[in-house]
Chains A and B, each alone.
Chain A
Amino acid sequence: MFDDFFIRALFAGIGVALVTGPLGCFVVWRRLSYFGDTLSHSALLGVTIAYSFQFNIAFSVFIISALIALILIQLQNKTNLPGDALLGLLAHSSLAVGLVVIGFLSFIRFDIMGLLFGDILAVTVDDLLIIWIGGLLILVVLKLIWKSLFASTVNYELAEAEGLNPDRAKAIFTILMAAVIAISIKMVGLLLITGMLIIPAAMARNVSTSPLQMVFYSIIGGLLSVILGLYSSLEFNTASGPSIIAASLFLFILSLLKIKQTSGLKN
């Protein structure tokens, strides 16, 4: 069944969408889209290290992204630079270092476009396993920290006062972000992963009235984007990442119609 590259890509995409749906909602709620960008830019460094030392790419990306996230948290506590400047600093410097390292690795043939924008031809059965097992783990951990993470998203002090340990939830969530980037890099490409997190969630916001509903629609939106995107990628011979993101943009625009309707009713 998984002999066909397209079936592999489809299952990989479905696995990714199931995870980016709920995580994307938190990214939108907690205003972490640029944080997601920073982590995914740093993923390039992870990829080059994987190539240099023959590591597994997902594993290497996960380690590097998690490391960058930890450095970021340290910097936030130790310097007075505003958050967005720190994020930019880390995003671009890690991207730059990654590209410089690629320059040194001239003996390896790099599919740089595939790295940046995803490549459905590149998904192997091993990748599928990583996506599904890793994705399942991410979802289980998210379920465990859900209450605490959600409460602190609404109000940090309330969560802290009523004993929900929001700092721990935040730290764990950061690691989950690194993990989701690691498993989706082959499908969506590192430049577009944040889009996969944000756009379906933003679409879901337009049609939801409760948090769980938003998570549900975000997952549905992600799945539809993957299916639509992959089929058009096959049809028009375009890169998988941009096709998926373009499909999700299409869904987002559709959802704007719905929001126009409801706000019209209210007034």
Chain B
Amino acid sequence: MRSNNDTLVKLQNAGYQLNNKFLVEGVSLEVQKGKIVTLIGPNGSGKSTTAKIALGIYKKIEGKVEKYTDKIGYVPQKISIDWTLPIRVNDFMLLTDNIGEQQINESLSLTGVLHLKNKNLGNLSGGEFQRVLLARAISKKPELLVLDEPVQGVDFTGEIALYQLIKKISEELNCGILLISHDLHTVMSATDHVVCLNGHVCCSGSPTDVAHNHEYKALFGEQASKTLTIYEHKHDHVHTNEGDIKKN
């Protein structure tokens, strides 16, 4: 049952097993319009698997998944482009949807990579590629965004800017976001709901609740629960992609 009209995807006791071994089990969560749900957990704790269950990539699953939207933008954890395939950023933007020129330019500007539009995808750096992936996912104005470590390899200032962008997108498009992140700072500052995984759901709730949960502390250490006091500092300038410095 759809609990309310804002629900985009709902997992009930969901799990997935490979070779008779559960990668993740017993996950229940719900992503609603305009809300950000973040999955955290150590390597191999089933974060990506949970995202793939929610997306319907895995077919033979335990439990139940209900999806109420087809407008989905996905940033996978890893994409490798084979050399045999010549593909420019612009071609990649059109991969799953026929969006207009203006929409492509807008999205690429938002993530700061408009100048790469005609570059070959295989020649981008890791951080540039992540920005293109994110631009592609948001360009189709999705109702549900699933972002699997979307800022990996992005430089530190870029990372903060991209997380702010993600937050802004969820507000502007009123889309629900399922975010996978290992960056506890961001998780605690920009998330509505946190699910802490370790093969199963360790704990879940608001960032504050989770930070004080003892299982969370056991998993990430005492230090992690102090991340609530977010380190913030103000810049009086920003660096544009052309390398100029712009005063605020």
Residues of A at the B interface (CB closer than 8 Å) are: 28-29, 31, 147, 150-151, 153-155, 157-164, 205, 208-214
* Interface residue stretch chosen among B70-78, B163-171, B224-232: B70-78
Docked complex Cα distance between A90 and B83 (Å): 29
A154 near B85 (CB under 8 angstroms)? yes
CB within 8 A of B96: which of A31, A158, A210? A158
Q: Known A29-B82, A147-B96, A154-B81; judge A161-B87 contact (CB<8 A).
A: no
CB within 8 A of A151: which of B55, B82, B96? B96
CB within 8 A of B56: which of A150, A154, A158, A160? A160
**Is B186 located at the chain interface by the 8 A CB criterion?**
no
Q: Known A147-B96, A150-B95, A209-B120; judge A158-B74 contact (CB<8 A).
A: yes
A29 near B84 (CB under 8 angstroms)? yes
Nearest neighbor of B73 in chain A, beta-carbon distance: A162
Q: How far in angstroms is the closest Cβ of chain A from B39?
A: 16
CB within 8 A of B72: which of A28, A29, A163, A211? A163
Return chain B residues, CB-CB under 8 Å to A164.
96
**CB pairs A–B below 8 angstroms (12 shown):** A29-B82, A147-B96, A151-B95, A154-B92, A157-B55, A161-B57, A161-B72, A205-B86, A209-B120, A210-B86, A210-B88, A213-B86
In the complex, per-residue mask of B101-128: 1 if CB is within 8 Å of any chain A CB, else 0: 0000000000000000000100000000
Return chain A residues, CB-CB under 8 Å to B81.
154
Return chain B residues, CB-CB under 8 Å to A28.
84
Return chain A residues, CB-CB under 8 Å to B92.
154
Q: How many A-B pairs with Cβ below 8 Å?
A: 67
Nearest neighbor of B72 in chain A, beta-carbon distance: A162
Nearest neighbor of B80 in chain A, beta-carbon distance: A155
Docked complex Cα distance between A81 and B97 (Å): 37
**Is B146 located at the chain interface by the 8 A CB criterion?**
yes
Return chain B residues, CB-CB under 8 Å to A150.
95
**Is B18 located at the chain interface by the 8 A CB criterion?**
no
Nearest neighbor of A201 in chain B, beta-carbon distance: B84
Nearest neighbor of B119 in chain A, beta-carbon distance: A209
Return chain A residues, CB-CB under 8 Å to B57.
157, 160-161
Range of interface residues on chain B? 20 to 34
Which of B79, B85, B88 gathers the greatest number of chain A CB atoms within 10 Å? B85
In the complex, per-residue mask of B46-86: 1 if CB is within 8 Å of any chain A CB, else 0: 00000010011100000000000010111010010110111
Nearest neighbor of A162 in chain B, beta-carbon distance: B96
Q: Known A158-B95, A159-B96, A163-B70; judge A153-B120 contact (CB<8 A).
A: no
**Is B91 located at the chain interface by the 8 A CB criterion?**
yes
Q: How far in angstroms is the closest Cβ of chain B from A238?
A: 30
Q: How far in angstroms is the closest Cβ of chain B from A213?
A: 7
Q: Given contact pairs A29-B84, A164-B96, enumerate 5 new A-B contacts (beta carbons under 8 Å).
A: A158-B76, A160-B56, A160-B57, A161-B57, A211-B85
CB within 8 A of A211: which of B74, B91, B96, B97? B91
Nearest neighbor of A212 in chain B, beta-carbon distance: B91
Nearest neighbor of B55 in chain A, beta-carbon distance: A161
A214 near B74 (CB under 8 angstroms)? no
Docked complex Cα distance between A14 and B92 (Å): 31
Q: Known A28-B84, A29-B85, A205-B86; judge A157-B96 contact (CB<8 A).
A: no
Nearest neighbor of A26 in chain B, beta-carbon distance: B85
Q: How far in angstroms is the closest Cβ of chain A from B122?
A: 11
Docked complex Cα distance between A137 and B79 (Å): 33
Return chain B residues, CB-CB under 8 Å to A212.
91
Nearest neighbor of B95 in chain A, beta-carbon distance: A151
Docked complex Cα distance between A205 and B52 (Å): 33
Q: How far in angstroms is the closest Cβ of chain B from A219?
A: 15
CB within 8 A of B55: which of A147, A153, A160, A205? A160
CB within 8 A of A161: which of B85, B91, B146? B146
